[in-house]
Amino acid sequence: MLEVQVMEDVMCAKMQVVRADGKGKPVFLFLVDGMLIDTGPQSIEKEIISFYKEHSNKIQLVALTHSHEDHSGTASWLQENLNTPIYVHTKGIQVCHWKTPYPKYRQVAWGVREEFSPSPLGSKIKSLNAEWEVIYTPGHADDHVALLDKQTGRMFTGDLFVSPKTKVIMDTESIPMIMNSIRKLLTYDFSAIFCSHAGYFKDGKEKLKQKLDHLEYLYGEVEKMYTEGKSIVEINKKLFPKVYPIVEVSSGEWDSLHIVSSIVSELDKKRMGQKKFSKEKSER
């Protein structure tokens, strides 16, 4: 069932999707000033298309925070039936031309996303009456962006927030990159955030600070144990003793292990850089 609330002049449409692990996952679409932000998953397209038909005169363009199937699942319907222009970061253009470019378990949860033809986002995008800052925020996805209306201080964060404490991530994600993306957002003047899976937070900037604090704690703990000689598996068991069902369901695509390994990868890069600098310095 689709629920609609209006927060700070933003129409927030909330739905629930039952994931492959049996748990419900909220999904939000946001309609503001003629711009639809994200299009949800294909698996609940009946509810979403009903929303589109009811508000078709208000939807003038679509901005995707990234190309993942739970954000772009009904984009093809909008393009084919309403001729709505759709925009995504340039790094997401190619994958949008492919039909269902993701594993079977994700198809079960999110549905079969049809291909569509988006245009590339620039550094800014215009809705009916506002100009939005497009902020590149990789880490969760390499085409991930946040959208900021500087006049109102409303920030749309896609999947950058989701929850204050991260427990599992995909094997393509990077905790250090996510941390840097959050730090980038925190340099902007904003208050509320609109998250594609957690909804509206009036104190959004504080929520992002909380998430960054937790990730910095994890980073420090991983660095400490890795320096002591512990392996990635040992560190993971220490920090994340609970194994979540999604790990087995996804055949390891989602795992807390990837949190640790992405941090270790960054630590190794720093060590190599320091060794190279020391070597070059000694050869001068």
**Which sign does the torsion angle of CA 155, 27, 207, 175 carry?**
negative
Q: Is there a domain that residue 258 lies in?
A: no
Q: Is residue 232 part of a domain?
A: no
Buried b (16+ CB within 10 A) or exposed e, 218-245: bbeebbebbeeebebeebbeebbeeebe
* pTM, rounded to two decimals: 0.93
Q: Do residues 81 and 57 lie in contact, with contact meaning Cβ atoms separated by under 8 Å?
A: no
What pLDDT digit, counting tens, does each position of 56-103 carry?
A: 999 999 999 999 999 999 999 999 999 999 999 999 999 999 999 999
Q: What pLDDT does 274 receive?
A: 67
Question: Does 256 fall in a domain?
Answer: no
What six digits make up the tokens of 1?
């069932």
- What is the span of the domain harbouring residue 201? 3-220
Q: Work out the burial of residue 133: count CB atoms within 10 Å of its CB; fewer than 13 is exposed, 13-18 middle, 19 or more buried.
A: middle
Q: Judge whether 264 lies within some domain.
A: no
Overall number of domains in the chain: 1
Which tokens in the block code for residue 97? 């031309």
* pLDDT tens-digit readout, 175-193: 999 999 999 999 999 999 9
Beta-carbon contacts of residue 252 (< 8 Å; ≥ 6 apart): 171
What DSSP letter does each residue of the chain carry, written as one string?
--EEEEETTEEEEEEEEE-TTS-EEEEEEEEETTEEE----GGGHHHHHHHHHHTTTT--EEE-S---HHHHTTHHHIIIII---EEE-GGGHHHHTSSS-S-HHHHHHH--PPP--PEEP-SEEE-SS-EEEEEE--SS-TT-EEEEETTTTEEEEETS-S-SS---EETT--HHHHHHHHHHHHTS---EEEETTTEEETTHHHHHHHHHHHHHHHHHHHHHHHHTT--HHHHHHHH--SPPHHHHHTTTSEETHHHHHHHHHHHHHHHHHHHHHHHHHHT-
Here the CATH number for the domain that contains residue 132 is 3.60.15.10
Task: Give CA separation, 243 vs 7, 104, 254, in Å.
Answer: 36, 21, 11
Structural domain includes residue 263 = no
Tokens of 190: 């904003």
Is 101 inside any structural domain? yes
Determine, yes or no, domain membership for 266: no
Residue 277 belongs to some domain of the structure: no
Q: How many CB atoms lie within 10 A of CB 208?
A: 25
Give, for all 284 residues of the chain, the pLDDT tens digit. Answer: 799 999 999 999 999 997 666 678 899 999 999 999 999 999 999 999 999 999 999 999 999 999 999 999 999 999 999 999 999 999 999 999 999 999 999 999 999 999 999 999 999 999 999 999 999 999 999 999 999 999 999 999 999 999 999 999 999 999 999 999 999 999 999 999 999 999 999 999 999 999 999 999 999 999 999 999 999 999 999 999 999 999 999 999 999 999 999 999 999 998 876 665 555 555 55
* Residue 118 CB-density burial (10 A; 0-12 exposed, 13-18 middle, 19+ buried): buried
